[in-house]
Amino acid sequence: MDISTLVQSLNLERLEVNLFRGTTPDEESRQRIYGGQVIAQALNAAYETVEDRVCHSLHCYFIRPGDPNVPIIFEVDRSRDGGSFTTRRVIAVQHGQQIFNLAASFQVEEEGYEHQSDMPDAPPVDSVPDDFETARAALKNAPPAAREWLERPRPIEMRTVGGRMDHKPEPREPRQQLYFRARDPIGPDPHLHQVILAYASDMSLLGTAIRPHGVSWQTPGFQSASLDHAMWFHRPTDFNEWHLYHQESPSASGGRGFNLGYIYRVSDGALVASCAQEGLMRMRKR
């Protein structure tokens, strides 16, 4: 899937004033919908009911696994239109049941006090290999179906510092860094850059809490899923530029892992967004 296909998949069909329909790109072997897709589509649905304001925060819950084979219906509740802030609530439905909900707040452009944390040290982006190319090289002798899956175009370029360890996991500290950006031009619409950044923000964040335990998505019996996701947009950005996604997991307990992420624009060190996510992480009993 390239950027044009991603953008097309995030665009919604308007069914009624506050009712929209979205679809999932046709990809084989997918058993459930990627969480970032539903976040981005729900944010897009909210934007369809908002004028001249920019999202500054969103909070959402994943309620049921999404079915990639049927459309998603997004219902927008116009909670409030205030003088400075607009609030929207979006419910995503499949098979007559809620699979996801999102609350988002939008604000008029406003000047004010500013400060931010400094961008953490990280190796230069040019010294970090592309995750896609590394995985493809490592699995060059994999079965044809696995190679076909790996060789699909990826809309988001990702470079994980120290490399990913999905196939041979070992215990590591509960923090990681990766660089990411859109592979192809997104276009001039700043809202679309924000929506695609939200799409990408769900990538790898849950994996931070898994790192200390020497398991991966491919470990037999291991079960994981995003439970919720929150995001704060601090500054506008061009997601065709490189960004550093600094992630850490301060806690895991009760079958859940908690993760924090900070997204910095590499060119000037600006903190453009922050994320928080809790996810399910447990071994199934055999």
Annotated active-site positions, please? 202, 226, 277
Pairing mode, if any, of strands 72-81 and 54-62? Answer: unpaired
Residue 259: name the closest of 231, 237, 236, 235 by CA: 231
Q: Which DSSP state fits 38? A: H
Please state the separation of Cα 270 from the chain's center in Å. 19
Sheet containing strand 72-81, edge to edge, reads 13-16, 19-22, 72-81, 85-94, 97-107, 54-62, 222-233, 271-283, 256-265, 243-253, 175-182, 156-160
Handedness of CA 70, 277, 238, 240 (dihedral sign): negative
**Cβ–Cβ < 8 Å for 186, 246:** no
DSSP 8-class letter at 184: S
Q: What single-letter amino acid sits at 65?
A: P
What residue type is assigned to position 191 of the chain?
A: H
Q: Quick one: which of 198, 284, 211 has its CA closest to 245?
A: 198
